[in-house]
Amino acid sequence: MAIRSVLCPIGLALAFAAPEPTLAAQACLANGKSFKVGETACLAIAGERYLARCDIVLNNTSWTKVKDDCPGDAPKLQSTPISTPQPGQAPTEPTEN
C-alpha cells in the first residue's frame, strides 16, 4: 500500500508534464508551393485556370474556387484557322533562288 501511495502521485505528475504533440501548420499545396489557410492561388486544372482560396473542409485543407479567371491573365482570343495551300499549287521540284 505504501508503494502505491508514493508511485501514483509521481505517475500523475509525469502524465501531466508530458508535452502535447504539436500539430503541423495546416496548408494547401499548389504549383510546388505551400499556401496558408486563407491565401489564394491561381490553379490550372484540366486546361482551365481559375483563382482559388485555401480553406479548411472537414478538418482537411482544400481549394475553394473564387473566380473563373486569374488576375493578370490575358483575355481569351478567338483563334483563326491557318490557311494551307491546296494540293498541286506547291512546286514539286526544288527551285533555284
Name the phi and psi angles at 76, rounded to 5.
-70, 130
Q: 61 near 27, Cβ under 8 Å?
A: yes
Name the phi and psi angles at 47, rounded to 5.
80, 0
| pLDDT of 56 | 92
| pLDDT of 74 | 59
| pLDDT of 8 | 53
Three-state DSSP at 2 gives helix
CA atoms within 13 A on the CB side of 21: 2
pTM reported for the whole predicted model: 0.50
Tell how far CA 80 is from the center of its chain. 34
Show the low-confidence residues of the chain (pLDDT under 70).
Answer: 1-24, 73-92
